[in-house]
Amino acid sequence: MDTKELLKKVRKIEIKTRRLSDAVFGGEYHSAFKGRGMTFSEVRQYQYGDDVRNIDWNVTARFREPFVKVFEEERELTLMLVADVSGSTLFGTQDQLKREIITEISATLAFSALQNNDKVGLLLFSDQVELFVPPKKGKFHILRIIRELLEFEPSNKTTNLGNALEYLGGVLKKKAIVFVMSDFMTSDYQKPLQVIGRKHDVTGVRVYDQREQELPSMGLVPFKDQETGKQRIINTSSRSVRTKYAAFHKENAAYFKNSFTKADAGAIDLETRENYTTKLLGYFKRR
């Protein structure tokens, strides 16, 4: 992609997602996430009714009377976008590929965070961490993130979300809002997700296509695995083939839902034909 074409695509994404963010998500994003983080402010003498779990035992021992820690809402939050760039996201039977939808959702969330003067970071992953952009503020930083989402070419095409989550746990020192966007065609992430979920506010967005749910009967059809590059002829007229195909994707969807529930994290299922604006807005309102 040459520079002129890239800038044109960035501008197109900016116009579409910024309008959505300004008109729809600004207030909802603020309501859903602001005030969820607490930071230490000061200590003061214990008063009747204070939570004993907030007692500062070091200060209490020094002055020989109880003191408690006082916390205040964090005024600045960090939004971390974790986006799947593996080969399987380059699939879509409708107007958009899964990766294009992931890019638009990421941009919409980023502009929502920009409205609230929050930092935004980006992690792109395949079966390894492909790119990490540390959280920063500002419009130029957001546009850089959009450029990376549009232009980045991963080194590998297979998927390992567990590696990405472990890496994220090591680099994110403060509590953050984490959106993991993927088709979740992997089953290696339950434990690292639980670790991340203990510290951060995590939401998973599973983007899938209708043809991944049910294989139509079309006779002998050539298929190519976007992650391994292998090609094979599949007899789609076979009932057992279609049953196994549907079962595989049903198991992936169940693993996704179960994993995020166990991690006390949010989860959104989004089919490529659905309006992601409606899905995100509904999710924010339910929080």
Q: Which of 122-131, 235-244, 246-255 has the weakest average pLDDT?
A: 235-244
Q: Which of 234, 232, 167, 229 is nearest to 196 (CA)?
A: 167
Based on the fold, state whether residues 61 and 193 are members of the same structural domain: no
Q: DSSP per residue over 3-46, as a string?
A: HHHHHHHHHHHHHHHHHHIIIIIHHHHHHHHTT--EEEEEEEE-
Query: What pLDDT does residue 178 have?
Result: 97
Based on the fold, state whether residues 63 and 152 are members of the same structural domain: no
Based on the fold, state whether residues 172 and 135 are members of the same structural domain: yes
**Total domains in the fold of the chain:** 2
Based on the fold, state whether residues 150 and 250 are members of the same structural domain: yes
Based on the fold, state whether residues 91 and 144 are members of the same structural domain: yes
Based on the fold, state whether residues 195 and 218 are members of the same structural domain: yes
Q: How far apart, in whole angstroms, are the C-alpha atoms of residue 135 and residue 114?
A: 12
Based on the fold, state whether residues 11 and 143 are members of the same structural domain: yes
Based on the fold, state whether residues 105 and 86 are members of the same structural domain: yes
**pTM metric for this prediction:** 0.80
HSE-CB for 8 with a 13 A CA cutoff: 5
Based on the fold, state whether residues 232 and 250 are members of the same structural domain: yes
Cα distance between the two ends of the chain: 39
Mean of per-residue pLDDT scores for the chain? 85
Tens digits of residue pLDDT in 157-200 = 899 999 999 999 999 988 899 999 999 999 889 999 999 999 99
Based on the fold, state whether residues 125 and 150 are members of the same structural domain: yes
Give the residue with greater pLDDT, 6 vs 206.
206
What CATH number is given to the structural domain containing 88? 3.40.50.410
Tens digits of residue pLDDT in 7-59 = 677 787 877 777 777 766 666 776 777 655 555 567 888 888 888 888 899 98
Based on the fold, state whether residues 189 and 54 are members of the same structural domain: no
Q: Residue 61: which domain range? A: 36-72
Based on the fold, state whether residues 43 and 94 are members of the same structural domain: no
Q: How far apart, in whole angstroms, are the C-alpha atoms of residue 40 and residue 59?
A: 14
